[in-house]
C-alpha cells in the first residue's frame, strides 16, 4: 500500500477540482471589472490624459468608441453562440445515435445475457455481465460528450466576453491589456481541467455503486468517457475550423489583396464572420480537443491499471494515481498563473512572448516536484503492471520518471514549435525574406520549414516512448501522456490568449481606434499566434502518446500477444492507416476551399453592388457572410467526421483485430508528421506576414510597408496556411486518438465477432 489512505484520496481529488473552478471564477470576476458600456466610469482625469496622448482618439469621443466596442462585441458573441447552438443540436442527435450503436454492439458480445461471468483477465473472479458494460459505456460516452461540449461553450463565452475588454484596456497600457487577455485564457484553462477531473471522478464513484469489486468492468466502461469527449472534439474542431477559415480566407483575399483595405476593416462584409470564427474554431474547438486528450489519457491509464496489481489488490489510492496527478497539475498551474498576473508586470512589447514562455517553464519545473510527491505518497514501493499477458515488476520511482519525461517532452515540443513559428527567430525571418521574390518562394520556404520542424518533436516523443515503455510497459506511456497534459490549465491559458488578442485587434480596427492602440493589440496577437502554435504542438504530442497508450490497451483487451508487421493482415492495415491522414486532410482542406469560394463571391458582390460601401457611408451586410460560414461548416464537417468514426468499425468488423491494430499503428505514425508540419507551416506564414506588417526591425522595414509586393506575397502564404494550421493540422491529432479510443471501446465486440471477411474466406 502507498502512504495515502483511501479517504484522503477521496477528499483531495474533488477538492483540487473545486479549487480550480473557484480560481477560474475569481479570474472571471477580475476581468468583469473592466466596464464595457457608456464609458462614464472613465473618470475625467483619465479622459484628459487620453486627450493629451491620443488627440482624443483622432477626434472620436471616447464614449462613442466604448459604445462601438460594446456593439461589435455583442455581434461577435451572438454569432458565436448561435453557431455553437446549431452545431450542438446536430451533434446531440449524433451522440444519441452513436450511443445506441455502442449499446447494441457491446451488448451483442454475449448476446444480451444478464448473467455474471468470469472476468476477462482474472478468470477466477466473477465479473458483471457484458450487458452492464454496454449500458455503462454508453452512459460514460454521453457524459464525455456533454463535458466536452460544455468545455468548448464556456471557453467561447469567456473569450467573447473578454475581447472588447482587452481592447479597452489597451488604451491604458500594453501590460493591462495583456493581463486581461491572459486572465480570460486562464478562466478557460482552469474550468476545463477542473470540470474534466470532477466529472470523471464523480462518474467513477457512481459506477462503483453498481460494479462494487469488479474494477475490471468498471474501468473498461469508463473508456466511453474518452470516446465521448473526443468525438465531440472532432466535430467541434473540424466544424469550427471550416467556419473560421472560410471567413478568414474570404476576407483576406478580397479585402487585403484586391481592395487594399486593412485586415478587420469594418467595410469588409466578412469581418464579423472572421472574428466569430476565431472563437468557435480556436477556442471552442481547442477546448474540446485538449479535454478529449485529457479524458483519454486518464481512461487509458485507469484501464491498464485495473488489470494490473492495483486493480486486483483493490488499492484505491494507487488506482487513482492518474487523477491525483491531474489534481496536482491544477494546483501547480494556479501558482504559475499568479506569476504572470501578479508578480511581473509587462511594460514593453518585447516582454510579451518571454512572459508566456516563462509560464510553460515555471509550470514544468513546479510540476516535476509535484509528481515526485504524488509518486512517493500514493504508490506502493513495488507493484506489477500488466504487460501483454505477463506481469512486469515496477517500482514507484519508475513511474515518477515516466510522468516527468512526458512533461519535459511537452516542454521541448512547445519550445521547438515556438522557435519555428515566432518572428523573433531566423526560420520565420527567412520565410519573410523569401517574399521579396514573390509568393512562390514564400510557399516553398514555408513548406520546407514545416517539414523541418517535425524532427525535434519526433525525437522527443520517441525518447519518452522508449523510456516510459521500458520502465512500466503500456501504463508508463499512458502516464507519460498524462504528464504532458498535467499542466493543461496553463497550456490552455496561453493558447486561448491568442484568439482573444486577435479579436481585440479586430475590435480596435472596427471601432476606429487610433494607430497606437492597433499596434499594441497587434503585438499581443503576434505573440498569440506563437502560443497557439505551442498549444497545437502540445495537443499533437500528447495525442501521439495517448493513442499509443490506447493502442496498447486495445491490444491487451483483444488478447493479441504480438502485432506482427510481416503478417499480410497487419501490413494491409498499416499501409491503409498511414493513408488516412492524407484522405482526411484532403477532405478538410477542400471544404475550406469551397466555402471560401462562396465567401469571396459574396464579398465581391457586396463591394460591387452596395453603393457607398468603399467610401464608408453604407454598412455591409454582415449577416449573409455569417450564414455562408455556418451552413458550409455544418454541411462539410460530416464527411471527414464519418471517415474517422466509421473506419475502425468497418476494419474491426470485416477484417478483424489484427488488421485494425495495423490500421491504428499506421495512422498514428503518419498522422503525427502531417499534423506537426501543417500546424507549423501555417503558423510561420502567418507570423512572417505580421513580421513584415509590424516593421519592427530594419530587415522588416525593407520588405514592407503594408501593400508592398513582398507584403502581398506574404498575405498569399498566410492564406494558403490558414486551412493547414487551423483546420487540417489540429483536427489530425483527434483523428489519431479517436480511432484508437473507439477501437478500445469496441474491442470486446471485435474480439468476439470481428473479421467477418476472413472467416468467410
> Domain residues of the chain, as ranges?
6-29+68-565
pLDDT tens-digit profile of 547-585?
A: 888 888 888 888 777 778 888 889 999 999 999 999 999
Which three three-digit cell numbers place residue 62? 471616447
Lowest mean pLDDT among 120-134, 689-703, 714-728: 120-134
pLDDT at 2 over 60: no
pLDDT tens-digit profile of 602-616?
A: 999 998 898 888 888
Higher pLDDT, 111 or 19: 19
Q: Compute the CA torsion angle 320, 322, 323, 329 (nearest 10 deg).
A: 140
pLDDT of residue 42: 44
pLDDT tens-digit profile of 173-225?
A: 888 888 898 889 899 889 988 998 999 999 988 888 888 777 778 888 888 89
pLDDT of residue 447: 93
Share the mean pLDDT of the chain.
Answer: 85
pLDDT at 595 over 50: yes
pLDDT at 70 over 70: yes
| Residue 52 binned pLDDT confidence (cut-offs 50, 70, 90) | very low
Under 8 Å between Cβ of 731 and 286:
no
Nearest alpha-carbon partner for 197 in 532, 476, 547, 482 = 482
In Å, how far are 357, 449, 736 from 542, measured between CA atoms?
19, 22, 11
| Residue 68 binned pLDDT confidence (cut-offs 50, 70, 90) | confident
Task: Give 44's strand partners.
Answer: none
pLDDT of residue 124: 65
Q: How would DSSP label each residue in 572-621?
A: HHHHHHHHHHHHHHHHHHHHHHHHHHHHHHHHHHHHHHSTTTTTTSS---
pLDDT tens-digit profile of 75-126?
A: 888 888 988 888 899 999 999 999 999 898 888 877 666 677 676 666 666 6
Q: Which residues contact 568 (CB under 8 A, 6 or more apart)?
A: none
pLDDT tens-digit profile of 275-315?
A: 888 888 888 888 888 888 888 888 888 888 887 776 667 77
pLDDT at 39 over 80: no
Helix (H) or strand (E) holding 391: strand 390-395
Under 8 Å between Cβ of 328 and 367:
yes
Under 8 Å between Cβ of 267 and 261:
yes
| Residue 475 binned pLDDT confidence (cut-offs 50, 70, 90) | confident
Lowest mean pLDDT among 29-38, 107-116, 130-139, 622-631: 107-116
pLDDT of residue 593: 87
**Backbone phi and psi for residue 30, each to the nearest 5 degrees, phi listed first:** -65, -40
Q: What is the CA radius of gyration of the chain?
A: 26
pLDDT tens-digit profile of 493-542?
A: 888 888 898 888 888 888 888 888 888 888 888 888 777 778 888 888 88
pTM equals 0.87
- List Cβ<8 Å contacts ≥24 apart for 613-617: 613/267, 614/259, 614/261, 614/267, 616/266, 616/267
Under 8 Å between Cβ of 482 and 297:
yes
Which three three-digit cell numbers place residue 507? 475590435
Which three three-digit cell numbers place residue 342? 501578479
Burial of 440-463, coded b for 16+ CB within 10 Å and e otherwise, reads ebbbebbbbbbeebbebbbebbee
pLDDT of residue 450: 92
**Backbone phi and psi for residue 392, each to the nearest 5 degrees, phi listed first:** -110, 130
**Backbone phi and psi for residue 118, each to the nearest 5 degrees, phi listed first:** -65, 150
pLDDT of residue 647: 92
In Å, how far are 15, 293, 318, 671, 758 from 730, measured between CA atoms?
32, 12, 34, 11, 36
Amino acid at each position: 500500500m502507498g502512504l495515502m489512505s483511501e479517504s484522503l484520496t477521496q477528499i483531495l481529488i474533488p477538492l483540487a477540482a473545486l479549487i480550480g473552478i473557484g480560481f477560474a471564477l475569481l479570474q472571471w470576476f477580475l476581468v468583469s471589472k473592466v466596464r464595457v458600456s457608456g464609458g462614464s466610469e472613465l473618470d475625467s482625469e483619465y479622459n484628459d490624459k487620453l486627450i493629451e496622448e491620443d488627440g482624443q482618439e483622432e477626434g472620436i469621443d471616447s464614449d462613442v468608441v466604448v459604445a462601438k466596442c460594446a456593439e461589435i462585441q455583442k455581434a461577435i458573441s451572438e454569432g458565436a453562440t448561435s453557431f455553437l447552438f446549431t452545431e450542438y443540436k446536430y451533434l446531440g442527435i449524433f451522440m444519441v445515435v452513436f450511443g445506441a450503436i455502442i449499446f447494441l454492439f457491446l451488448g451483442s458480445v454475449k448476446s444480451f445475457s444478464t448473467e455474471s461471468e468470469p472476468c476477462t483477465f482474472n478468470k477466477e473472479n466473477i465479473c458483471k455481465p457484458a450487458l452492464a458494460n454496454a449500458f455503462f459505456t454508453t452512459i460514460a460516452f454521453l457524459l464525455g460528450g456533454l463535458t466536452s461540449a460544455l468545455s468548448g461553450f464556456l471557453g467561447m463565452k469567456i473569450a467573447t466576453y473578454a475581447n472588447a475588454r482587452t481592447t479597452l484596456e489597451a488604451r491604458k497600457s500594453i501590460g493591462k491589456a495583456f493581463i486581461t487577455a491572459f486572465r480570460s485564457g486562464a478562466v478557460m484553462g482552469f474550468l476545463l481541467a477542473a470540470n474534466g477531473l470532477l466529472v470523471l471522478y464523480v462518474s467513477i464513484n457512481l459506477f462503483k455503486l453498481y460494479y462494487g469489486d469488479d474494477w475490471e468492468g468498471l474501468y473498461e466502461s469508463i473508456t466511453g468517457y474518452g470516446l465521448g469527449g473526443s468525438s465531440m472534439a472532432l466535430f467541434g474542431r473540424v466544424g469550427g475550423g471550416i467556419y473560421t477559415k472560410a471567413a478568414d480566407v474570404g476576407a483576406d483575399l478580397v479585402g487585403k489583396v484586391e481592395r487594399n483595405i486593412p485586415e478587420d476593416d469594418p467595410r469588409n462584409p466578412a469581418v464579423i464572420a472572421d472574428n466569430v470564427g476565431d472563437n468557435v474554431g480556436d477556442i471552442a474547438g481547442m477546448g474540446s480537443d485538449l479535454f478529449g486528450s485529457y479524458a483519454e489519457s486518464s481512461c487509458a491509464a485507469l484501464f491498464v491499471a485495473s488489470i494490473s496489481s492495483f486493480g486486483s489488490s483493490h488499492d484505491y489510492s494507487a488506482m487513482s494515481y492518474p487523477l491525483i496527478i491531474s489534481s496536482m497539475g491544477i494546483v501547480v498551474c494556479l501558482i504559475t498563473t499568479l506569476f504572470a498576473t501578479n508578480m511581473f508586470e509587462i511594460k514593453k512589447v518585447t516582454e510579451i512572448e518571454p512572459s508566456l514562455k516563462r509560464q510553460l517553464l515555471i509550470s514544468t519545473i513546479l510540476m516535476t516536484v509535484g509528481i515526485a510527491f504524488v509518486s512517493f505518497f500514493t504508490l506502493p514501493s513495488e507493484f506489477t503492471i500488466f504487460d501483454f499477458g505477463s506481469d512486469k515488476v515496477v517500482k514507484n520511482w519508475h513511474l515518477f520518471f515516466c510522468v516527468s519525461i512526458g512533461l519535459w517532452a511537452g516542454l521541448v515540443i512547445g519550445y521547438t514549435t515556438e522557435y519555428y513559428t515566432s518572428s523573433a527567430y531566423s526560420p520565420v525571418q527567412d520565410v519573410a525574406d523569401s517574399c521579396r521574390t514573390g509568393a512562390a518562394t514564400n510557399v516553398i520556404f514555408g513548406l520546407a520549414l514545416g517539414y523541418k520542424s517535425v524532427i525535434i518533436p519526433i525525437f522527443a516523443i520517441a525518447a519518452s516512448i522508449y523510456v516510459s515503455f521500458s520502465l512500466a510497459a503500456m501504463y508508463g506511456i499512458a502516464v507519460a501522456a498524462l504528464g504532458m497534459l498535467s499542466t493543461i490549465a496553463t497550456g490552455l491559458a496561453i493558447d486561448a490568449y491568442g484568439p482573444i488578442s486577435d479579436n481585440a485587434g479586430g475590435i480596435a480596427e472596427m471601432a476606429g481606434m487610433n494607430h497606437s492602440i492597433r499596434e499594441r493589440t497587434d503585438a499581443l496577437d503576434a505573440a498569440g499566434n506563437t502560443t497557439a502554435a505551442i498549444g497545437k504542438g502540445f495537443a499533437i504530442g500528447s495525442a501521439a502518446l495517448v493513442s499509443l497508450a490506447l493502442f496498447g490497451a486495445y491490444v491487451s483487451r483483444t488478447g493479441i500477444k504480438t502485432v506482427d508487421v510481416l503478417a499480410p493482415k497487419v501490413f494491409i492495415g498499416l499501409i491503409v492507416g498511414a493513408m488516412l491522414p492524407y484522405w482526411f486532410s484532403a477532405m478538410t482542406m477542400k471544404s475550406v476551399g469551397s466555402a471560401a469560394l462562396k465567401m469571396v463571391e459574396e464579398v465581391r458582390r457586396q463591394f460591387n453592388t452596395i453603393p457607398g460601401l468603399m467610401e464608408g457611408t453604407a454598412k455591409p451586410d454582415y449577416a449573409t457572410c455569417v450564414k455562408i460560414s455556418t451552413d458550409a461548416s455544418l454541411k462539410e464537417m460530416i464527411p471527414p467526421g464519418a471517415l474517422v468514426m466509421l473506419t475502425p468499425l468497418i476494419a474491426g468488423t470485416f477484417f478483424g483485430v489484427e488488421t485494425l491494430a495495423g490500421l491504428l499503428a499506421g495512422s498514428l505514425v503518419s498522422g503525427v508528421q502531417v499534423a506537426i508540419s501543417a500546424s507549423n507551416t501555417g503558423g510561420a506564414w502567418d507570423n512572417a506576414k505580421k513580421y513584415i506588417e509590424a516593421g519592427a526591425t530594419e530587415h522588416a522595414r525593407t520588405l514592407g510597408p503594408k501593400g508592398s509586393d513582398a507584403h502581398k506575397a506574404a498575405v498569399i502564404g498566410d492564406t494558403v496556411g490558414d486551412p493547414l494550421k487551423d483546420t487540417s493540422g489540429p483536427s489530425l491529432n483527434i483523428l489519431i486518438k479517436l480511432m484508437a479510443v473507439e477501437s478500445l471501446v469496441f474491442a470486446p465486440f471485435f474480439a468476439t465477432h470481428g473479421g467477418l471477411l476472413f472467416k468467410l474466406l
